[in-house]
Chain A
Amino acid sequence: MELLSYLLATDLRMAAPILIAALGLLFMEKSGVVNIGCEGMMLFGTFFGVFFARLSGSPWIGLLFAGMTGMVIGLFFAFIVVTLRANQIVTGIALNIIAQGATSTLNRLIFGVSSQAANAPGFEVVPIPLLSKIPVIGDSLFNQMGPIYLALLLVPLIRWFMMKTTMGLKIRAVGEHPHSADTAGINVRSVRYGSILAGSFLVGAAGGFLSLGILSLFSENMVSGRGYIALAVIIFGKWNSWGVLAAALVFGLGDAVQIKMQTAGSSIPYQFLMMLPYILTILALSGFVGKAESPAASGKPFRNDEL
């Protein structure tokens, strides 16, 4: 039981940054934009999250600014892929490279070269009264940091937004068939800009949560591939926010199990344990997830003078 509770708690914690980033990506993907630069966007979020949290003394303000940083980067990304209609994958790769360099440079310019990592006030665990006392799930589910609750709330919220609001409908239409949307009088570009900005906020905030929630400091390249995993999570979760949650948890669980097995002194070489989440994903994908259908216009630039 304790093991289960532990696994669940670790799972949720490790899954949270991936989940938040993936939910952000979901916004973009739904409108037909693929952002492989998620990794870099998150990295910007980690840095500016710490920067502003230090400045203000509040992790929440840090998180907010991490999101806003994401949006600034998102604006730049949107300009290149929406206005200039550039290839989204190369742009994303460029973004990753820039992010790696820029955050390290800024880190050194601002915080100097020291062995004390730039740290900041981090999030505290906020147990929810009563609920956190439920056996097994109580401690893991209701004894977490604020942003984790928010992330979990976002899951149904985004689903609701996509399915039940006018804006959500527009985003889906633009991602599926931009020309239909265009002839229906929807400004495809604006919708994509909007989705990228909203999504980038979440991606940036995901970075912020990594540096302020999971940890409370910035260190170079600390995202460590979680941005790529978030991309996989979208596909794995079949472009549906509940699916995304489930997929993020699978990854988190892979991590949790792997850590647990090492602590328990498993004799399996640790590299195999590290591979576990990835192998699990491939198996799951081949076994029961099957063909996932992306939004039809995914990754394709749109021009409205074609008919």
Chain B
Amino acid sequence: MDTYETVLEMRGITKVFPGVVANDAINFDLRKGEVHALLGENGAGKSTLMGILSGVYQPTEGSIVLEGAPVRFDSARDAIHNGIGMVYQHFMLVPKLTVAENIMLGIKRPKEPLLQIDKASEQIVAFARTYGMDLDPEQKVASLTVGQQQRVEIVKALFRGAKILVLDEPTAVLTPKEIQELFSMIKMLTDQNFSVIFISHKIDEVIEISNRISVLRRGKLEATINNEGVSKEELAGLMVGRDVSFCVEKTPCCPGDSVLALEGVGLKDREGRPLLKDVNFEVHEGEIFGVAGVDGNGQDELLEVITGLRSASEGSVCIVGQEVLGKSPRQILEMGLAHIPADRQARGLVLSMDIKENFIINDYYRSPHSKRDIISWPFVRKHTKENIERFDVRTSSIDTPVSTLSGGNQQKLILARELHGKPVLLAAMHATRGLDVGAIEYVHQRILEQRAAGTAVLYISTELEELMSFSDRIAVMFRGEIMGIVRPEEVTIDQIGLMMAGSIT
């Protein structure tokens, strides 16, 4: 392939937000049938650049040239009509609407005031099939798995005639199998001359899927390189501007007493369908116990049962020998539980409140944080400041609302809050989701420190590589059941992948 046809050019794009230059004179081009990856740390400006391409933002400077002609997108609508299909980092689907309704939203079909949902559904199903996807058009989006939702997003974009597909961190929420499916779909699309812009923090993926790679750092384009023989380290270096180590340096595990013990834990939903079935395992002091599985196979419920947010219908859960079932979340926290929830914004933080207020959310009611129902803010300020510094949360002040922190810093804040007091048990889920390599490295180190200090760690994730390199043992969940507990040294990723799909070792 020597003669490339350039379909899209972004020239000298600069975007200034108050106080931040999110994009700084970026030149970016996309060729027909290629996958062009956009790599960069959190806050490097990737989403902003794509926001400009999709008409959500208007650039401060610079221009967009589409198939040779300069264009101007004043709204998402303009971009869509020009064949730009955007799949956002946070999906833009309406949960209460069905798949078909979501896909039909905004399709421009003049003179058709009626939905004719049945006819459209047929078309959608047929259309999706041509790209090897199965969709149930009548299902509500809220009831789909993330992977399925992503497919809906992609079909939605294609159905509207997108020629250029932008995928913003599409793999962050997928299982390995789903990632492979996504990749084969991307290949199918590029074979049919669609062009794809692929955004990710994950260097391996980028290397696997893309033809060319552009690296952004702090709003500037560092380099655009052909994906031939570039090394992981090289890219990582470009991304963060320093060397990054990829191996988790881990001392051998020397597990102590059992800290968390689950026996025959079962849970049913309102209709009586099992969410958890006979779950048994133990996590010991100084051990990282990984839980692998495709999202929605009971991990959420498992965590909820352990943290007391939900009550199991049978079995027993013990923390250091004490029964947990029937105890309130607060009582469990007081037993020494630290909790990193799956969705930091939904369940971990209160975005509109400030850093110190978020920091004390577990301890605010007890001395020395408060005395006789009155919060001692001077202590809280001092305490928060110390720990914020210790955990390297970057912020100008502890009085700023958490909503202004980047994702990485939000996660660090949660770590600072949960880990500063030497927990007995750390239950974490998706602790590195959406974070850049630097931040992931940081989170891992902190958790390893805890392990070294004797904390038992329950680590739920969908990232198999991470689990393999990071955990001492791994349990694989499928439909609410533990399919097996393995040691990472003794299995391959593929074997775990199979267990995640329901086969027993």
B54 contacts A169, CB within 8 Å? no
Main secondary structure of the interface of B (DSSP, over half): loop
A186 contacts B106, CB within 8 Å? yes
Interface residues on B, range: 20 to 34
A267 CB contacts on chain B under 8 angstroms = none
B56 contacts A305, CB within 8 Å? yes
- Chain B residue nearest to A186 (CB atoms) is B106
B96 contacts A176, CB within 8 Å? yes
A176 contacts B97, CB within 8 Å? yes
A173 contacts B105, CB within 8 Å? yes
- Nearest-CB distance from B313 to chain A (Å)? 23
B57 CB contacts on chain A under 8 angstroms = 305, 307
A173 contacts B94, CB within 8 Å? yes
| B428 close to chain A: CB less than 8 A | no
| B269 close to chain A: CB less than 8 A | no
B112 CB contacts on chain A under 8 angstroms = 166
A176 contacts B51, CB within 8 Å? no
B113 contacts A165, CB within 8 Å? yes
Select one of A166, A179, A183, A296 contacting B115, CB under 8 A: A166
- Residues 249-290 of A contacting B (Cβ, < 8 Å): none
A177 contacts B77, CB within 8 Å? no
- Nearest-CB distance from B151 to chain A (Å)? 16
| B9 close to chain A: CB less than 8 A | no
Given A164-B114, A169-B115, A183:B76 Cβ within 8 A: yes
B117 CB contacts on chain A under 8 angstroms = 164
Among A173, A181, A182, A183, max chain B CB count under 10 A is at: A183
A181 contacts B56, CB within 8 Å? no
- Residues 139-177 of A contacting B (Cβ, < 8 Å): 163-170, 172-173, 176-177
A181 contacts B115, CB within 8 Å? no
| B75 close to chain A: CB less than 8 A | yes
- Chain B residue nearest to A174 (CB atoms) is B94
B115 contacts A165, CB within 8 Å? yes
| B357 close to chain A: CB less than 8 A | no
Given A185-B75, A304-B75, A164:B94 Cβ within 8 A: no
Given A164-B114, A180-B92, A180-B105, A187:B97 Cβ within 8 A: no
- Nearest-CB distance from B446 to chain A (Å)? 30
| Complex alpha-carbon distance, A164 and B113, angstroms | 9
A185 contacts B76, CB within 8 Å? yes
B101 CB contacts on chain A under 8 angstroms = 169, 172-173
| B104 close to chain A: CB less than 8 A | yes
| A110 close to chain B: CB less than 8 A | no
The stretch from B80-88, B171-179, B232-240, B381-389 touching chain A is B80-88
- Nearest-CB distance from B270 to chain A (Å)? 13
Given A166-B109, A183-B92, 8 additional A-B pairs, CB 8 A: A164-B115, A165-B115, A168-B115, A169-B104, A176-B97, A180-B92, A185-B81, A307-B56
Chain A positions within 8 Å of B, measured between CB atoms, are 163-170, 172-173, 176-177, 179-187, 296, 304-305, 307
Chain B positions within 8 Å of A, measured between CB atoms, are 47, 51, 54, 56-57, 75-77, 80-81, 86, 88, 91-97, 101-102, 104-106, 108-109, 112-115, 117, 156, 160
